[in-house]
Amino acid sequence: YLPPRLAHCGVAVDDCLTYSVGFRAPSAAEVLTHFTDFLSQYLSDEERYTDADAQPVSDPHQIQHDALGRLKSLLTEHMSDERM
């Protein structure tokens, strides 16, 4: 095993073929994208984000903290479901 970014040089004694196989760790974006795609296969389209208790806000262009909290709760609920 050679760690990533370690240069190496090999010398063949006879005729041969050499192979170099690299493995790349996924980015955080790839992990989240693929995992949420996986989760979405098991979720009902009937379950929806709700904010029936939302109050009018002074700046409609900003995501409110309580809305973000509801979204985090929804994600946490499904991501912590060990049946998936």
The residue among 51, 27, 39, 46 whose CA lies nearest residue 75 is 39
pTM, two decimals, is: 0.55
The residue among 26, 43, 23 whose CA lies nearest residue 84 is 43
Each residue's pLDDT tens digit, 6-64: 877 778 889 988 777 777 889 999 999 998 898 888 888 888 888 888 888 888 898 88
pLDDT at 26: 92
- Residue spans of the domains in the chain: they are 28-43+62-84
Q: Which residue has the tokens 């090999």?
A: 10
